[in-house]
Chain A
């Protein structure tokens, strides 16, 4: 009965590889997000997507690309992985905007990526 799920939970790979992380939400939410949490636990938004609009944080390298096959899924593709990409990646979803403000976000369990 998981609300937001991610796979895989752990991902260990070599530098230069291409990998994907999948995210699914069964909450019927309109908006999904990807966040990156670094080794110091700092969380930073990477993308937000609401099936009409993709908003990209300008600091995210274009090696990262979100892909949404449908409203309940937002997958993260990473090309040419680098050592600095090692982090925990969290998917999240929210209902969207209510009266102009973002509402509660529901987070997945995270994917721990280690690039060797």
Chain B
């Protein structure tokens, strides 16, 4: 089954507003990471939160992790037009039987910031 489901699938807000994206996952994890992908480009790492952490900040980004609910949220404050991109959560769930030892990505949230 798929790990890392983002919600919502798409989000459109006005510049200056805050954007919140959620991610749910199914198995136990070592850490959870958020990545950004601009259209036609590769993924850029934003932030990593370990399983024993509950909240982490990086500039305008705030990530929370609730391992009891197997969920995480990414908050972008004071959004800018340049934040328009797709955002993916990715989980490190260790070696999984039959699976390659990479991150497991969700389908992403497409964020559009209206100027």
Chain A positions near chain B (C-beta within 8 angstroms): 4, 33, 35, 40-48, 55-58, 60, 90, 92, 100-110
Contacts and interface: CB of A to CB of B under 8 A. Distances in A.
B30 A33 contact: no
A27 B30 CA distance: 23
Contacts of A107: 35, 42-44
A107 to B, nearest CB: 4
B43 A33 contact: no
A46 B101 CA distance: 9
Contact of A46 (B31, B92, B100): B100
B25 interface: no
B69 interface: no
Contacts of A35: 102, 105
Nearest to B110: A41
Interface string B23-62: 0000000110101010001111100101000000000000
B30 A101 contact: yes
B107 A45 contact: no
Contact of B31 (A57, A101, A109): A101
- The list of the 8 closest CB pairs from A to B, nearest first, reads A45-B102, A101-B30, A57-B100, A43-B105, A107-B42, A102-B92, A107-B43, A48-B101
Given A43-B105, A104-B33, 11 more contacts: A43-B88, A45-B102, A46-B100, A47-B102, A48-B100, A92-B43, A102-B92, A105-B33, A105-B45, A105-B102, A107-B42
Interface of B: 30-31, 33, 35, 37, 41-45, 48, 50, 86, 88, 92, 94-95, 98-105, 107-108
A99 to B, nearest CB: 8
A109 B42 contact: yes
A58 B37 CA distance: 27
B99 A45 contact: yes
Contacts of A100: 30, 94
Contacts of A41: 37, 86, 107-108
A110 B100 contact: no
A108 B41 CA distance: 9
B101 A102 contact: yes
Contacts of A47: 100, 102
